[in-house]
Amino acid sequence: MNRSRSKLVAFAGLVIAVVVLVIAMVGGGSLTAPSSAPPSGVASSGAGFSSVQTTTPEPGSVPTPAAAVANPSTLPTISAAQLPKEARQTLALIAKGGPYPYDRDGVNFGNFEGLLPRKSGGFYKEYTVPTPGESDRGARRIIVGKDSAKYYTPDHYESFMFIVEDK
């Protein structure tokens, strides 16, 4: 009886470990213990984590960076001022949180082409850049990462440029 109980406890422990691992993978969480210092992007009052303020955006929101974001990719860059007028207007809508003219604006971008830095699902959101003369959404998009990095594609995900935003 003692042996079967040991097997049951071991099995329960294995199930719990698998569940925790799946939750961490799906939720993008970390399985490491917290360090004594706050993680990058977190401000602390200095007294541990009792009054921690995170700069992580709420799910579904697009953060507005306080400072310029460094290019996390090897993609070429383009200044926001060099973007087409419609792309600059889309950037302004993103900065103020909408409203967006297309139902598909703000949906997850899967990065199936693999041209942007690889991240977990739900990391990127896409926004339409209207194309004059097109009767539909056209091919131009701005992709925004949870790290506030923004990318412009003029050709429906065939190529990307990292957007260097004006200060």
Write out pLDDT tens, residues 70-90.
888 889 999 999 999 999 999
CB 144 within 8 A of CB 87: no
Task: Say what the pLDDT of residue 51 is.
Answer: 33
Alpha helices in 28-161 (DSSP H): 85-96
The yes-or-no verdict on residue 53 having pLDDT over 60 is no
Query: What is the residue-averaged pLDDT of the chain?
Result: 75
pLDDT digit string (tens) for 92-140?
999 999 999 999 999 999 999 999 999 988 999 999 999 998 888 899 9
Whether 126 sits among the annotated catalytic residues: the reply is yes
Indicate which residue of 126, 134, 158, 165 is catalytic. Answer: 126
Least confident of 13-17, 31-35, 71-75: 31-35
DSSP count for the chain of H helices, then E strands: 2, 8
In the chain, % helix, strand, coil (3-state, to 5) comes to: 25, 15, 60
| Domains recognised in the chain with CATH numbers | 2-54 (no CATH), 77-164 (3.10.450.30)
Q: What angle do CA 61, 29, 43 make, to 5 degrees?
A: 65
For 115-148, the DSSP string reads -SPP--TTSEEEEE---TT-SS--S-EEEEETTS
Long-range Cβ contact pairs of 121-127 (< 8 A, separation 24 or more):
122/28, 122/59, 123/28, 125/62, 127/90, 127/93, 127/94, 127/100
Per the residue annotation, which of 58, 86, 113, 156 is the catalytic one? Answer: 156
> Cα–Cα distance between 104 and 132 in angstroms, integer?
18
* Percent of the chain residues topping a pLDDT of 70: 60
Cβ-Cβ contacts under 8 Å for 88 (sequence gap 6 or more): 80, 81
**Entry pTM:** 0.59
Prior bond of 99 cis (ω within 30°): yes
Our answer to whether residue 58 is catalytic in this structure is: no
3-class secondary structure, 104: coil
